[in-house]
Structure formats: structure tokens, C-alpha cells
Structure 1
């Protein structure tokens, strides 16, 4: 009986260790895939998206650092959905099909806000 309990404890600990290692590998993989993107960010009650300047592809945005939405709000728009120019650091992941973002193939997970501005620079981002 004692051997059986030890075996169960060993299996549980092994499972916990494998789960912890897998999470670290996933986090490391995401850190290695960080990109700096430039585009037009649009925010409102049902929209959090970025349209990239370089090729006009559109992605859903998840603000993991909780600074992008705050910075957008601090710009003082009278109405939502006004596009702003942003430079963000983050990584792309598959979009959750069970959420509002299901219309987007991929999601940009923001890890750092580099720049946010009402002024849209000339060039590919100018509309």
C-alpha cells in the first residue's frame, strides 16, 4: 500500500513538473517571436484592431500590458473608433474563435507600447 501511494505521488509530481516546463517553453517561444509593428490602432466598445502600415493586413489586438487602451483613452477623443498611429512590440497568435475577435485570423498580443499618436505620419499609413 505504501508503494502504491508513493507511485501516485510520483506521477502527480511528474505531471506538475512537465506542465511547468511546457509553460516556460511556450513563454520563451513567444519572447523569441517578438516583433515591432507600426500601424493604425482602432479602439472602441467592440473593436480593438490594428491595420499594419506595411501591407494593410488587419489583426485583433490584446493589450497584455494594459497600457495601450489607457494611452488611447488619454488622447481625449470625443467618440470611439478614431484611428491613431502606433508602434507596438508584441507577438502574433491564433485568434480565439469563441470570442468577438473570431473575424480575425490572428491576434497581436501587445507586450510594449513604443509610441501612440493622433498624428498619422505621411507614407503608407496615411489614409
Structure 2
């Protein structure tokens, strides 16, 4: 009886571990370089490598918004240059971000700076 319980709980634990590793969407993480703007009503990213296309941003890293706010930018929506690792997913039809076709889900913040490179997003 005890051996059966041990096997049962071991199996449950393995199933739990396998399900925790799954990502939403396609699971493909990509590095994006561009301009990030943050304010009360919008969090957007302008992809400089993709013709300036704009995306809504969801920050799963919990670092992007924090470091943006620590840069002491006086006005909302001032763009900063970022390099982020994330996943592009289809935006929801309602709520904030619904006006964007796609959302960038930020998994990792690589770089953030007020200095926008001259050759970026011109």
C-alpha cells in the first residue's frame, strides 16, 4: 500500500513539473531592439528592426517598468531604447492593448537606456 502511494505521488509530482515548464503562445523567445514608452494608459514598444511596428507590452520580467520608473523621466511616454527578450502573442480583443494587433510579452530585460542610438528607428 505504501509503495503504491509513493508511486502515485511521484507521478503527480512529475506531471506537475512538466506542466509548469510550458509557456503560453508559441514558446519562441526572441530578442527585440527598439523604443519603449510607458505611461498611465499605455505600455508600448516600437520594433526598430521591423519597420517601426508598434506593440503593446506585458512585462513578465518585472524589471522593465521598474527600471523605466527609476530613470527619473519627468513626463510619461518618453521613449527609451531597450533590448528585451520576449515572445510575440496576439493581443486580446478587449481591455488595454486591444488597439494593437500583437503584444510583446517581456521575459527578460537585456538593456535600457535614455540614449537612443542614431541608427535606430529613424
How is 1:102-117 mapped onto 2 (pairs within 5 angstroms)? 102-117=98-113
Q: Which runs of 4+ in 1 moved over 3 A?
A: 19-26, 28-31
Q: Give aligned pairs, total.
A: 108
Q: Which runs of 5+ in 2 are unaligned?
A: 1-14
Structure 2 counterpart SS, 1:72: helix
Q: Which residue pairs with 1:76 in the alignment?
A: 72
Structure 1: give runs of 5+ residues left out of the alignment. 1-18
**30 and 122 in structure 1: CA distance in 2 versus 1, 3 angstrom threshold:** same
**Are residues 104 and 20 of structure 1, via their aligned partners in 2, closer, same or farther at CA, if it must alter by over 3 Å?**
farther
Note if contact 2:55-2:102 (Cα within 8 Å) is conserved in structure 1. yes
Larger helix proportion of the pair = 1
| 1:22-63 deviation line (CA, Å, top 9, x unaligned) | 9558528744x0000000000000110000112100000000
For 1:1-127, what aligned pairs fall within 5 Å after superposition? 23=19, 26-27=22-23, 30-31=26-27, 33-54=28-49, 55-125=51-121, 127=122
CA–CA separation in structure 2 for the residues paired with 1:43 and 1:98 = 20
Q: CA RMSD in A?
A: 2.4
Bigger Rg, which one: 1
- Displacement of 1:124 after TM fit? 3.0
